[in-house]
Amino acid sequence: MTGKERERVIPITTDTRTMEQCRKDMVNNLERKQKNTSGDLAKVDGKPTCCHNWDDEVNRWIQEAYNRWNEDMGRMSRDIFALVVIRDLENILLTGFTEIFPFGLPSHNEGRDTDF
């Protein structure tokens, strides 16, 4: 500290109303602000202005979730490495890595689509 800092005073205002009273006042104020001069809410025609097929939307969300899951699982399988139990490590070091990787050691970028 340089000694030039000053103490900040933050004013605190308390409200004696209960939570229910505050909520009721807030709702009443919102209703009062939203009403027009006649006191009625906006009129709605018999036809909706937007026809949206929610079944298609939900199906799209589900398909996107499956796609994301498949992408994540694919990324995990590409980036996974083999864990070796410590008691088997000595045997593996003596025999080489052929037991874990029978087709050779994977390269660092094997299976990746992008270069970093």
Domain extent for 91: 82-116
Domain-located, residue 113? yes
Is 72 inside any structural domain?
no
Task: Provide the pLDDT for residue 82.
Answer: 66
In a domain, 16, yes or no: no
Higher-pLDDT residue of 16, 113: 16
pLDDT band at 45 (very low <50, low <70, confident <90, very high): low
User: Residue 114 above 60 pLDDT?
Assistant: no
Q: Tell me the range of 29-33, 60-64, 102-106 where mean pLDDT is highest.
A: 60-64
Burial 74-108 (b: 16+ CB within 10 A, else e): eeeeeeeeeeeeeeeeeeeeeeeeeeeeeeeeeee
Q: What's the structural domain count of the chain?
A: 1
Looking at every residue in the chain, the average pLDDT score rounds to: 72
pLDDT of 29 > 70? The answer is yes
83 has a pLDDT exceeding 60: yes
Look at residue 95 and tell me if it is in a domain.
Answer: yes
The gap from C-alpha 101 to its chain's centroid, in whole angstroms, comes to: 36
pTM: 0.29
Q: Is the dihedral of CA 11, 14, 19, 20 positive or negative?
A: negative
What letter represents residue 112's amino acid?
R
